[in-house]
Structure 1
């Protein structure tokens, strides 16, 4: 099957790698063409525009950073909505505002294509292994059509409603975890006077009721960075995390709801980005906070 991936950042590239590994003929497009080169070297074919990619593929998977990129790829010159989409399937896996997902989904279906939203939980490694958590919105018929592809990318798939439902739940899923990374930094800060080894402290904190499942994968890395090791590979960058927080806060405002804890965490992510850490992993927020507010050690 010919599958196109529109957007080859960290997650889009990992999804494309997964599709290549399971035997699909993969096409790729990115606004920065340089980001497609490793995938071309791995066997993918690059296209110069979203429209060209869509017309060459049976399925188009969209994985973009934000609403601005989404509007460009769907609505700009030679965009997806300028393509002959009739009969094709578009799966949008971006984390964007629910109203944006509703808008682009409706526009795609008006052109005679099937559309499914599937924002995903997970980072690069789960994407490469086909172990993402898919939060799906769309009609039952379109979701059924998309399932064979989604099952190759996701360990669990939940159809949670119509267009916009998956985007809404994805914002909810990300919110507690990203707040946690800031809270962890604050917890580490008040533990500094104890002078415990970072690996021991992280091990203790990880084995408590307050620790999320993500600590199993990231805890050891955080401990190494606390000990002075380099930041290492980014699984989910601070800029992307900040965008998700801001999107959740904006969406809550449209519901006349308040997210005071998320707003506070958002400010901390914004501060870290302004300090030049935008491309660092989101867990760097935890480490940075211990360096920013370091109490004196006990004598």
Structure 2
């Protein structure tokens, strides 16, 4: 069975490396063809278009930035669905809103193919090691078809329900972490005038009942960030955090649920990602005001 991956950003490329390491026959495509070169060197084949990839593969994985990119790759000129994909399986792993997944599901079904959504929890390291958390939506039959592929990539596959359920579960999984980074930014502001070193503060915050797993694992990176001596690795780009928070608020609003805390975090990330933390990890919002506040209070 031949697999394909469309989208070779950090996560897509890491998943492609994992599949190649597992001996999977793999075809890859990316809008920037140069990103495929390292994977071709490891044994992947390169397709000239999404349509060509779909024609060559039984199962197609897509890992793209947003709903607009997903729409273009599936339904645009030379898109996946232009290749008469009847009987093929598509596994959409991007983080997009549930409405976009439902719309995509209709398009894929009309083409006679199956769609499973599987946005994931985890970053590049877990992707390379097959330790992602798969948050799946789709019919039971389609999910059964996808499980052998997902087993290469995920330590746990959670079937949440029909299409759209995986997208909602992914937003729920991401929400506490993203709100936490903004909350930690505000917490750091409360103690910016203390004589404690950044290392002491980071260690203490990681040891509290309110700390999330991310800060417990990344306390050293947080200390270096506060001290101005290091930049955290790019695990979750701030722009992506702003996008996901926007999806969270929109999805909740459609369900009649108010999300004032999440909306405030969304606004903070939108502003920061457009300026001082553009292109940086979402964690960097925690130190956005730190140096200025510390200098002003001393």
C-alpha contact 1:189 1:295 (8 A) present in aligned 2: no
Is 1:239 the counterpart of 2:236? The answer is no
How many angstroms apart in 1 are the aligned matches of 2:232 and 2:43?
Answer: 27
C-alpha contact 1:186 1:290 (8 A) present in aligned 2: no
Is 1:216 the counterpart of 2:188? The answer is no
Match of 1:127 in 2: 127
Between 15-24 and 269-278, the greater mean CA deviation after superposition:
269-278
Is the partner of 2:218 in helix, strand or coil?
helix
Which aligned pairs between 1:53-64 and structure 2 lie closer than 5 A? 53-64=53-64
Is the partner of 2:95 in helix, strand or coil?
coil
Structure 1 residue 6, shift from structure 2 partner: 0.8
Structure 1 residue 233, shift from structure 2 partner: 2.9
Match of 2:252 in 1: 252
C-alpha contact 1:190 1:295 (8 A) present in aligned 2: no
Match of 1:192 in 2: 192
Match of 2:264 in 1: 264
Match of 1:173 in 2: 173
Is the partner of 2:87 in helix, strand or coil?
coil
C-alpha contact 1:134 1:157 (8 A) present in aligned 2: yes
Is the partner of 1:194 in helix, strand or coil?
coil
Match of 1:32 in 2: 32
Match of 1:183 in 2: 183
Match of 2:225 in 1: 225
Match of 2:76 in 1: 76
Structure 1 residue 13, shift from structure 2 partner: 1.0
How many angstroms apart in 2 are the aligned matches of 1:29 and 1:143?
Answer: 24
Between 29-38 and 167-176, the greater mean CA deviation after superposition:
29-38
Structure 1 residue 292, shift from structure 2 partner: 5.4
Q: Point out where structure 2 has 5 or more consecutive residues left out of the alignment.
A: none
C-alpha contact 2:207 2:216 (8 A) present in aligned 1: no
How many angstroms apart in 1 are the aligned matches of 2:217 and 2:11?
Answer: 17
Is 1:52 the counterpart of 2:37? The answer is no
How many angstroms apart in 1 are the aligned matches of 2:269 and 2:35?
Answer: 25
C-alpha contact 2:52 2:83 (8 A) present in aligned 1: yes
How many angstroms apart in 2 are the aligned matches of 1:141 and 1:170?
Answer: 21
* TM-score, structure 1 normalization: 0.94
Match of 2:273 in 1: 273
How many angstroms apart in 2 are the aligned matches of 1:209 and 1:93?
Answer: 32
Deviations 1:231-280 (A, max 9, x none): 24311101111110111112222223221111111111112222152211
Is the partner of 1:229 in helix, strand or coil?
coil
C-alpha contact 2:221 2:230 (8 A) present in aligned 1: no
* TM-score, structure 2 normalization: 0.95
Q: Point out where structure 1 has 5 or more consecutive residues left out of the alignment.
A: none
**Closer/same/farther in 2, CA of residues 276 and 198 from structure 1, 3 Å limit:** closer
Aligned pairs, number? 298
Deviations 1:38-78 (A, max 9, x none): 22233222212111111111211111111111111111101
Between 78-87 and 103-112, the greater mean CA deviation after superposition:
103-112
Structure 1 residue 126, shift from structure 2 partner: 0.9
